[in-house]
Amino acid sequence: MKNYYWKTKDGQKINIDDMDINHLRNALKMIFRNIKANEQKAKSRLKFQLNGDIAQDHFNQMQDKEYYDEVNLYDN
């Protein structure tokens, strides 16, 4: 069986199997909040269009980078 790790804000890795129920519950709530924020961000991105492919590509890349640094699940 593979181990899955939760990466905390300070960079510490915690095995998900070792997390207590309250920590798991809070982590799941955070995942849902991030999903909702990403969905709203995607909707707003569709409304905003720049003139020119290079400008639009740069804008899209900057939008994608913001949330993915906050939460990472590592599969080992």
pLDDT digits (tens, 9 = 90+) for 11-63: 999 999 999 999 999 999 999 998 888 887 777 666 666 677 887 777 777 76
Q: Return the structure tokens found at 66.
A: 């913001």
Residue range of the domain that includes 58: 4-75
What pTM was estimated for this model as a whole?
A: 0.51
Whether 16 contacts 24, CB under 8 Å: yes
How many domains is the chain built from?
1
* Short-list 10, 73, 71, 75, CA closest to 37: 71
